[in-house]
Amino acid sequence: MTHERIKLGQYGEEKAANYLVKQGMKILEKNYRCGYGEVDIIAKDRDTLVFVEVKTRKTSTYLSPFLSVNKHKQLQITKVALHYLLEKKLKEIPCRFDVVTIVDTEIQWIKGAFERGM
């Protein structure tokens, strides 16, 4: 991954985190990593634990950045989420998978973007 793409990703993740805080969410973790991969943001939305994937693009394209969160990526995120829940000994807590897309300056927050992958 190029330095420019890394910087763009970091910019998007920071912008998304700030946006989610303004919406009333509490950020618990950023860039949580384990052997299964990474989740960009883990937050609390009231009593729900939310795993957030952030997709950032410099300019609008024909396809939404949301489409890059395909079934494979969803499965990876859910494996990381399960690892997090086991590591933190969290049981019986409602969870949700959200996607935040950032294109130029426009932010779109898709709550419940996908269900747990199988």
Domains of the chain: total: 1
In a domain, 16, yes or no: yes
CATH number, domain with residue 84: 3.40.1350.10
Chain segment 73-99, per-residue pLDDT in tens: 999 999 999 999 999 999 889 999 999
Q: Which single residue is written with the structure tokens 């509490």?
A: 26
Q: Which two tokens stand for residue 116?
A: 């747990």
For a pLDDT cut of 90, what percent of the chain falls above it?
66
Neighbours of 8 (CB within 10 A): 16
Domain that holds residue 32: 3-109
Check pLDDT > 80 for residue 110: yes
Q: Which two tokens stand for residue 49?
A: 């634990």
In a domain, 114, yes or no: no
Cα gap 40→48, rounded to integer Å:
17
In a domain, 82, yes or no: yes
Chain segment 5-32, per-residue pLDDT in tens: 888 888 889 999 999 999 999 999 999 9
pLDDT of res. 104: 82
